[in-house]
């Protein structure tokens, strides 16, 4: 996101970077939809386990991690989300309320 913001500040479009960000966002939406499709569009009350929520393995780095979009969307749809990520637990507790 930083290159896009810098480009906007200086009126220099970052078309390739913007396209990558757009594709990444669509992948997150597709993941949410796949989870819902498994349960005919209704995940209310369903327990969903997520293995790993950090940006990369063996770190607590959660900057721009897809889990920050996917998990709240599932919780918003009524799912009960359980996460397993020992490295990311401290950050995850703060950034992902409603998760066990």
CATH number at residue 34: 3.40.50.720
Q: Which of 97, 82, 14, 8 is nearest to 49 (CA)?
A: 82
Six-digit token pair at 19? 């396209």
| Residue 8, domain member (yes or no) | yes
Quick check: is 100 in a domain?
Answer: no
Where helices occur in the chain by DSSP H, the ranges are: 2-9, 15-38, 67-76, 89-95
Q: How many separate domains does the chain show?
A: 1
Measured distance CA(5)–CA(71) in Å, rounded: 26
- pLDDT score, position 69: 92
- Asked if pLDDT for residue 92 goes beyond 90, the answer is no
Structure tokens at 26: 């669509």
pLDDT of amino acid 40: 93
User: What's the pLDDT score for residue 28?
Assistant: 92
Q: What is the pLDDT of residue 75?
A: 94
Q: Each residue of 25-54: pLDDT tens digit? A: 999 999 999 999 999 999 999 999 999 898
Its domain, for residue 19, covers: 2-95
pLDDT attached to residue 55 = 82
What is the average pLDDT value for the chain, to the nearest integer? 90
Is residue 60 predicted with pLDDT exceeding 90? no
Closest CA to 75 of 91, 97, 58: 97
Of 77, 86, 16, which is closest to residue 48 (Cα–Cα)? 77
Mean pLDDT of all residues in 91-100 = 85
3-state secondary structure of 96: coil
Look at residue 60 and tell me if it is in a domain. Answer: yes
Residue 82 lies in a domain: yes
Residue 70 lies in a domain: yes
Is residue 88 assigned to a domain?
yes
């Amino acid at each position: 996101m930083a290159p896009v913001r810098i480009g906007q500040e200086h009126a220099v479009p970052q078309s390739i970077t913007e396209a990558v960000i757009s594709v990444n966002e669509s992948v997150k939406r597709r993941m949410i939809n796949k989870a819902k499709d498994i349960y005919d569009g209704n995940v209310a009350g369903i327990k969903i386990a997520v293995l790993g929520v950090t940006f990369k393995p063996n770190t607590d780095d959660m900057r721009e991690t897809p889990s920050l979009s996917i998990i709240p969307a599932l919780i918003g749809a009524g799912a009960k989300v359980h996460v397993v990520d020992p490295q990311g637990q401290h950050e995850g507790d703060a950034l992902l309320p409603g998760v066990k």
